[in-house]
């Protein structure tokens, strides 16, 4: 087990730079998830960590030891690939024991460790099979077993669940989390799925276009996103964004959307948003912070009346797509809602959870 | 109705391919004197085979062809594997390198055979099956490289990455993972190389003498001043085809079953 640091890590392929100056400190035992849209450089970063890809500049440290000149076979890390990459000519047991065999671990110990890992993953009955005789989920477990057996300093996962069907994916996600709680090995996990990131991570690293947008625990990313990108990427359904002008009257701030809609900004935010009075900003609010009014009006709740476009019952909740001055706004309502397409609906936005984004910098203010 | 026509077409096509072969098999069992008869089986004899094997030492030609073809393939295969892998994985030489390998196949054999003869004569390698083996290995190399390159490109690089992360250096990863996974590809390439060498004629004709002739050369030698002894030729063709038929029969199953592995997904 080990801590890992990336300092000013850059990756260039000939002329294009695909990873820009990554700085990341990962503590011992930590589970860190790199998340971002496809092509943002997650796998490249992971491969640099593994030593499969050279770094163009900067340095990576594993346990305070610079590793850029250490080849993958000497880094003492394990990696699970999206396509599992099981050795097709070996049985499950041989697949799992291969790394130990290369390190000349005695046969009896290899057997014991393979057995132990197989017990943990529930694949003891598969040990004599070859990969082609396994289902996708079983292959996934074997791939994890191969990493587990080695008891390495660091686990690297590159989208390990992407090839599984939805149900199995959720199940394996839980198993990965359990596994980490049990073995506690420092883990760096790559995914494009923000739900996976939020559920698994101690800390999430949101990447976009080869840069880190924000690093933080899942709750922090959800409640205090630092940029438009993170605000929109984290959470499902995603945050609503509406262009709005900040206005002041009698010492209070309002957001003015179109000609008819004015939303009061909570007093606590007056100082924070004061400098933006008169400017067009992007107002962000999550669907779960828009609801139907119930009982007495509460402070920070701004009333809205919007025409409904689409109603999507999800079971536990109902998503209602409304039109706010030409922008679609999704509200996450109780399943008992009477909303129906074409009719207006009365809503309240919980402005205590609002975000304001400066469109010039794309940063949350 | 449509199915019927499809079958008629397929039967006609099969007949087009198979009839000459069947006729050769038939002729090989018919006495020379009746071999041009149009009746289906005017007689039956094994004399053609006996004559070929006893008087003309056709057995030696078969043995030489076997040694030359096998040797040439076994020499060429490791080099082709290494080159093909370098092309496939490290893109060594880029597209130009690939093109140059293919370009060697564009020269007609006749262009190469005379310079080869001159060089081999000065090296004392004419009239020797060893010399022929080297030539066939060289002729096979680009072709086998090309085939294996395609095969290696189909192997997910993650397999090697996994091996390296497991503690294998690139050389170990190549031998312990890439090569075992590629056995079906190596087998197909080897078989194709063997067949090419087995059937090769021009180089064999120029580079061998009566004592070192391979099967195709010995077959051609059956064409004498007295005309073609068609029954002998047929028997020779049958003997020449038997090894290939055996390979096709047993290798096919191996190749097909080997190709569906399951490394990924
Ligand atoms: N070998 C390569 N040569 C050139 N560009 C590459 C290479 N590998 C990846 N890239 C580019 O680097 C970017 C990041 O890729 P990757 O790390 O695989 O993204 P992610 O895993 O986040 O989807 C992509 O735009 C991709 O096209
Ligand atoms: Mg990727």
- CATH assignment at residue B69: 1.10.3720.10
pLDDT at A357: 96
pLDDT at B108: 86
Number of the ligand closest to the Cα of A160: 2
pTM for the model stands at 0.85
Say whether pLDDT at B252 is over 80. no
Which residues on B lie below 8 Å from A81 (Cβ)? 158, 161-162
pLDDT band at A1 (very low <50, low <70, confident <90, very high): low
Percent of chain B with pLDDT over 90: 50
Least CA distance to A132: which residue of chain B? B262
Total number of domains in chain B? 1
pLDDT band at B256 (very low <50, low <70, confident <90, very high): low
B1 touches chain A (CB under 8 A): no
User: Which neighbouring-strand residues pair with A280?
Assistant: A245
Percent of chain A with pLDDT over 70: 100
Give the E-state strand segments of B27-100 in sequence order.
none
pLDDT band at B258 (very low <50, low <70, confident <90, very high): very low
Q: Helix (H, G, I), strand (E, B), or coil: what is residue B223?
A: strand
pLDDT at B98: 86
CB contact under 8 A, B265 and A78: no
CB contact under 8 A, A85 and B265: no
Is the pLDDT higher at A189 or at B103? A189
- Residue A14, ligand 1, Cβ within 6 A: no
Percent of chain B with pLDDT over 70: 95
Number of the ligand closest to the Cα of A158: 2
Strand pairing class (A252-257; A240-249): antiparallel
Instruction: Note the CATH number of domain A240-364.
Output: 2.40.50.140
Say whether pLDDT at A54 is over 90. yes
pLDDT at A70: 95
Structural domain contains residue B14: no
At B171, list the tokens.
């050389």
What is the Cα–Cα distance from A222 to A201, expressed in whole angstroms? 13
Read off the pLDDT of residues B148-195 as tens digits, 9 standing for 90 and up. 998 899 899 999 999 999 999 999 999 999 999 988 888 888 988 999
Structural domain contains residue B3: no
Say whether pLDDT at A360 is over 70. yes
pLDDT band at B255 (very low <50, low <70, confident <90, very high): low
Say whether pLDDT at B259 is over 60. no
pLDDT band at B263 (very low <50, low <70, confident <90, very high): very low
What is the Cα–Cα distance from B29 to B40, expressed in whole angstroms? 11
pLDDT band at B262 (very low <50, low <70, confident <90, very high): very low
Say whether pLDDT at B257 is over 70. no
Task: Classify A4-224 by CATH class.
Answer: alpha beta
The strands making up A57-62's β-sheet, listed across from edge to edge, are A16-26, A4-13, A57-62, A65-66
pLDDT at A75: 94
Residues 6+ apart with CB under 8 A from B135: B72, B116, B120, B203, B207
Segment A219-239 shows an average pLDDT of: 95
Tell me the shortest Cα–Cα distance from A108 to chain B, in angstroms: 19
Each domain of chain A, given as residue ranges in start order, spans 4-224, 240-364
Segment B122-144 shows an average pLDDT of: 92
User: Which neighbouring-strand residues pair with A328?
Assistant: A323
pLDDT at A118: 95
- How many angstroms is it from A154 CA to the middle of ligand 2? 19
pLDDT at B227: 79
Domain that residue B257 falls in:
47-261
pLDDT at B34: 84
Which residues on B lie below 8 Å from A146 (Cβ)? 162, 166
- How many angstroms is it from A207 CA to the middle of ligand 1? 13
CB contact under 8 A, B168 and A102: yes
DSSP track, B150-206: HHHHTS-HHHHHHHHHTT--HHHHIIIIIHHHHHHHHHHHHHHHHHHHHH--HHHHH
pLDDT at B33: 84
Mean of per-residue pLDDT scores for chain B: 87
- What is Dmax (Cα atoms) for chain B? 72
Residues 6+ apart with CB under 8 A from A323: A306, A307, A309, A329
Segment A30-49 shows an average pLDDT of: 96
pLDDT at A308: 95
CB contact under 8 A, A73 and B168: yes
Percent of chain A with pLDDT over 90: 92
Say whether pLDDT at B14 is over 80. yes
Neighbours of B96 (CB within 10 A): 9
Say whether pLDDT at A279 is over 90. yes
Tell me the shortest Cα–Cα distance from B54 to chain A, in angstroms: 47
Radius of gyration of chain A (CA): 25
Range name among A170-184, A268-282, A344-358, B43-57 with the lowest pLDDT average = B43-57
At A255, list the tokens.
């957001």
Euclidean distance between the first and final Cα of chain A, in Å? 38
Mean of per-residue pLDDT scores for chain A: 94
Structural domain contains residue B41: no
pLDDT at B264: 46
Angle at A344 between CA A339 and CA A350, to 5 degrees: 80
Q: Residue A341, exposed/middle/buried by CB under 10 A (0-12, 13-18, 19+)?
A: exposed
Closest residue by CA, ligand 1 atom 21: A43
pLDDT at B56: 80
Say whether pLDDT at B261 is over 50. no
pLDDT at A240: 96
At A204, list the tokens.
């999430």
Is the pLDDT higher at A298 or at B225? A298
Q: Give me the residue from A73, A77, A88 closest to B262, CB to CB.
A: A88
């Amino acid at each position: 087990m080990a801590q890992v640091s990336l300092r000013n890590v850059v990756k260039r392929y000939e002329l294009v730079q695909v990873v820009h100056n990554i700085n990341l400190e990962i503590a011992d035992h930590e589970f860190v998830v790199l998340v971002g849209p496809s092509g943002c450089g997650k796998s490249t970063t992971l491969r640099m960590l593994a030593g499969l890809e050279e770094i163009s500049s900067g340095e990576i440290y594993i346990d305070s030891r610079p590793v850029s000149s250490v080849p993958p076979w000497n880094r003492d890390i394990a990696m699970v690939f999206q396509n599992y990459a099981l050795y097709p000519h070996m049985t499950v047991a041989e697949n799992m024991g291969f790394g130990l065999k290369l390190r000349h671990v005695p046969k009896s110990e290899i057997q014991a460790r393979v057995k132990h890992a197989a017990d943990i993953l529930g694949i003891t009955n598969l040990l004599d099979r070859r990969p082609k005789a396994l289902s996708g989920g079983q292959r996934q477990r074997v791939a994890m077993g191969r990493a587990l057996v080695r008891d390495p300093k660091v686990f690297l996962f590159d989208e390990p669940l992407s090839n599984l069907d939805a149900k199995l994916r959720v199940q394996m996600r839980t198993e990965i989390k359990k596994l980490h709680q049990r073995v506690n090995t420092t883990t760096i996990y790559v995914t494009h799925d923000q739900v996976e990131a939020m559920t698994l991570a101690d800390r999430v690293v949101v990447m976009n276009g080869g840069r880190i947008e924000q690093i933080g625990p899942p709750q922090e990313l959800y409640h205090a996103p630092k940029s438009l990108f993170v605000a929109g990427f984290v959470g499902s359904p995603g945050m609503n964004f509406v262009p709005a002008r900040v206005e002041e009257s009698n010492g209070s701030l309002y957001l003015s959307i179109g000609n008819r809609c004015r939303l009061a900004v909570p007093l606590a935010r007056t100082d924070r948003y004061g400098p933006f009075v008169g400017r067009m900003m992007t107002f962000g609010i999550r669907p779960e912070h828009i609801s139907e009014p119930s009982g007495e009006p509460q402070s920070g709740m701004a009333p809205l009346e919007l025409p409904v476009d689409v109603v999507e019952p999800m079971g536990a909740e109902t998503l209602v797509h409304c039109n706010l001055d030409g922008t679609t706004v999704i509200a996450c309502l109780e399943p008992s809602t009477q909303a129906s397409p074409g009719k207006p609906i009365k809503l309240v936005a919980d402005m205590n959870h609002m975000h304001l984004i400066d469109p010039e910098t794309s940063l949350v203010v | 109705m449509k199915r019927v026509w499809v079958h008629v077409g397929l039967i006609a096509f099969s007949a087009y391919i198979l009839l000459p072969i069947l006729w050769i098999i038939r002729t090989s069992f018919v006495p020379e004197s009746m071999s041009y008869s149009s009746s289906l089986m005017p007689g039956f004899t094994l004399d053609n085979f006996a004559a070929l094997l006893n008087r003309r030492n056709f057995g030696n030609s078969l043995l030489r062809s076997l040694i030359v073809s096998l040797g040439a393939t076994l020499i060429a295969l490791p080099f082709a594997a290494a080159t093909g892998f370098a092309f496939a994985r490290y893109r060594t030489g880029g597209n130009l390198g690939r093109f140059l390998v293919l370009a060697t196949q564009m020269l007609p054999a006749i262009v190469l055979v005379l310079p080869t003869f001159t060089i081999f004569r000065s090296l004392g390698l004419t009239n020797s099956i060893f010399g022929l083996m080297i030539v066939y290995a060289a002729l096979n190399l680009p072709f086998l490289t090309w085939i294996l390159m395609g095969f290696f490109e189909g192997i997910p690089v993650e397999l090697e990455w996994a091996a390296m992360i497991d503690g294998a250096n690139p050389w170990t990863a190549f031998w312990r993972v890439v090569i075992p996974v590629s056995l079906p590809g190596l087998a197909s390439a080897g078989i194709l190389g063997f067949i090419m060498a087995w059937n090769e004629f021009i180089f064999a004709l120029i580079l061998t003498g009566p004592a070192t002739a391979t099967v195709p050369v010995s077959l051609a030698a059956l064409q004498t001043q007295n005309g073609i002894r068609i029954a002998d030729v047929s028997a020779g063709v049958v003997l020449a085809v038997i090894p290939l038929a055996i390979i096709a029969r047993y290798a096919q199953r191996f190749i097909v079953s080997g190709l569906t592995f399951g490394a990924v997904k």
